[in-house]
């Protein structure tokens, strides 16, 4: 009787073992890069055949940004910083995955609560990895920087508000004309309550941008840009 009872328990255990779900790890960290206060972790999604880069700043109140691309090198990645500049509170870093030929421009400000703004794109195997500064405009509490990316043939505007807890915004579009041709100018401004809207023209690229934000701590600007014929 005792042997029969033990056999029954073993059978029930075997059935419960057979009903357990199989678990697999499909998201794994396959790399990490630290550049001063910026952390970049490489996450491989084995199920979707993607490599993802997660960016965050080592500061209180930060948020992370993530971007993914096809794993063309068998989930191998080789990420390095290839360009960098700092001006005022703004920090801009360019990193490149040499295995998958992907470059990313990363912008953030050196204040608590900041989060990185990123723009990633497919880059050439042999390319110009420099960041060309193409202008700076300060209007009230808003800072706007223009950088030119020879690698992607794009111009990027980076804007942030000079307040605590702010994060920058980054917008890129195709470059026109020659470097240094045309300025960044403010042509109009609206303030209603806490809302501020500034109209900025990138004369170099015939691009008009409305930049909106609110005059409170922790605010971040938002871009809306469009093509417009600009008289020079």
Sequential DSSP letters for 40-87: EEEEEETTTTEEEEEEEESSTT---EEEEEE-TTTT---EEEEEEEEE
Sequential DSSP letters for 138-185: EETTEEEEEEEETTTTEEEEEEEESSTT---EEEEEE--S-TT-S-EE
Average pLDDT over residues 4-23: 52
Rounded Cα distance, 64 and 30, in Å: 18
Q: In the block, which residue shows the tokens 């801009």?
A: 92
Q: pLDDT-derived band of residue 229, with 50, 70 and 90 as boundaries?
A: low
Burial 5-26 (b: 16+ CB within 10 A, else e): eeeeeeeeeeeeeeeeeeeeee
pLDDT digits (tens, 9 = 90+) for 190-204: 999 999 999 999 998
pLDDT digits (tens, 9 = 90+) for 59-100: 888 899 999 998 876 788 899 999 999 998 999 999 999 988
What pTM did the predictor assign? 0.82
pLDDT digits (tens, 9 = 90+) for 20-53: 665 556 888 989 999 999 999 999 998 888 999 9
The sign of the torsion formed by the CA atoms of 62, 146, 67, 94 equals negative
| Contact between 43 and 30 (Cβ < 8 Å) | yes
Evaluate if residue 210 carries a pLDDT over 90: yes
- The helix (run of H) or strand (run of E) holding residue 19 is helix 2-19
Evaluate if residue 127 carries a pLDDT over 80: no
Residue 5 pLDDT: 45
| 3-state secondary structure at position 125 | coil
Evaluate if residue 11 carries a pLDDT over 80: no
**DSSP structural state of residue 136:** E
Q: pLDDT-derived band of residue 14, with 50, 70 and 90 as boundaries?
A: low
Evaluate if residue 220 carries a pLDDT over 50: yes
Residue 19 pLDDT: 56
Residue 3, both tokens: 């042997």
Give the whole-number percent of the chain exceeding pLDDT 90. 53
Residue 94, both tokens: 């360019």
Rounded Cα distance, 103 and 51, in Å: 13
Q: Which of 210, 211, 213 is nearest to 195 (CA)?
A: 213
């Amino acid at each position: 009787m005792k042997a029969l009872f033990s056999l029954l328990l073993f059978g029930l255990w075997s059935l419960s073992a057979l009903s357990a779900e199989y678990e697999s790890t499909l998201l794994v960290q396959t790399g990490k890069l630290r550049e001063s206060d910026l952390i970049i972790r490489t996450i491989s999604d084995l199920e979707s055949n993607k490599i993802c880069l997660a960016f965050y700043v080592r500061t209180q109140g930060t948020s992370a940004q993530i971007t993914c691309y096809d794993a063309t090198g068998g989930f191998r990645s080789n990420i390095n910083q290839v360009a960098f500049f700092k001006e005022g509170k703004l920090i801009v870093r360019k990193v490149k995955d040499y295995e998958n030929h992907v470059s990313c421009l990363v912008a953030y400000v050196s204040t608590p609560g900041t989060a990185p703004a990123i723009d990633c794109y497919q880059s050439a195997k042999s390319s110009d990895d420099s960041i060309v500064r193409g202008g700076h405009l300060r209007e009230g509490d808003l800072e706007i920087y223009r950088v030119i990316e020879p690698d992607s043939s794009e111009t990027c505007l980076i804007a942030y508000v000079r307040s605590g807890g702010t994060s920058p915004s980054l917008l890129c579009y195709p470059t026109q004309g020659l470097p240094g041709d045309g300025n960044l100018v403010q042509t109009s401004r609206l303030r209603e309550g806490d809302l501020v809207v500034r109209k900025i023209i990138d004369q170099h690229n015939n691009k008009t941008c409305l930049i909106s934000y609110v005059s409170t701590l922790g605010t971040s600007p938002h871009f809306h840009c469009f093509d417009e014929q600009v008289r020079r």
